[in-house]
Amino acid sequence: MRDLYLIDGYNVIFWVPGEYSTSDLESSRKKLMDRLQDYGAHRDVEIIVVFDGQGESKKVRIDTVTPLFHIVFTPRHMTADSYIEKESYKRRDEFRHVYVVTSDGSEQNVALGNGAFRIPVNELIKQLDNDKKEQHIVIRNNNNSNLRSELGRTLPKDVVDKLNRLRQG
């Protein structure tokens, strides 16, 4: 069983204004979703990012980006909080752990009552940053251990020294 993260998207964007622009919500949503999708794929967790509804829609819109990454836009009169509260209760038996990511205190309390764990937004940002650092370390280590096969790496030092003297003339 894998874990499920239910994330209040706008709560994250507005909680960390230095990280995400509050004046350009479209690019902020895109940046957040890219980071979360990368994190979810690397950690093998399912992620549902929920944004408060806008416009005249009367139905929940769910965009499934991958089988483990979903974006939800609630209907106009439904908040992301209420959607997350229902999902955390409804889906608690489908996952090993359900995590609710928000810094909204009342939503955190409802999530705890539903058996979910709460993650404050600043803790999620730390997790995303640490995961990215781990990925860079793995990539760097793998690149160093998979160096190209070059002739200079296999020659004895005295031969390399002679070749260098010949080159310098």
Residue 71 has pLDDT above 80, yes or no: yes
Share the mean pLDDT of the chain.
86
Q: Which of 31-40, 110-119, 157-166 has the highest mean pLDDT?
A: 31-40
Rounded to whole angstroms, how far apart are CA atoms 47 and 99? 10
Dihedral angle of Cα 54, 119, 117, 71, to the nearest 10 degrees: 30
Residue 65 has pLDDT above 70, yes or no: yes
pLDDT band per the 50, 70, 90 thresholds, residue 109: low
Q: Which contiguous run of DSSP H or E holds residue 50?
A: strand 46-51
pLDDT band per the 50, 70, 90 thresholds, residue 152: low
Reduced to 3 states, what is the DSSP secondary structure of residue 2? coil
At 17 the pLDDT is 79
Residue 107 has pLDDT above 70, yes or no: no
Nearest to 72 by CA among 60, 81, 82, 84: 60
In this predicted model, which residue has the larger pLDDT, 47 or 164?
Answer: 47
Q: Which domains does the chain have, with CATH numbers?
A: 4-145 (3.40.50)
Q: Which contiguous run of DSSP H or E holds residue 32?
A: helix 25-43
Mean pLDDT for the stretch of residues 12-29: 89
In the structure encoding, which two tokens stand for residue 161, read together? 């020294």
Residue 5 has pLDDT above 80, yes or no: yes
Q: Which contiguous run of DSSP H or E holds residue 83?
A: helix 80-90
In this predicted model, which residue has the larger pLDDT, 6 or 154?
Answer: 6
Q: Would you give the DSSP letter of residue 70?
A: E
Question: Which residues face 7 on adjacent strands?
Answer: 49, 101
Nearest to 77 by CA among 93, 54, 99: 54
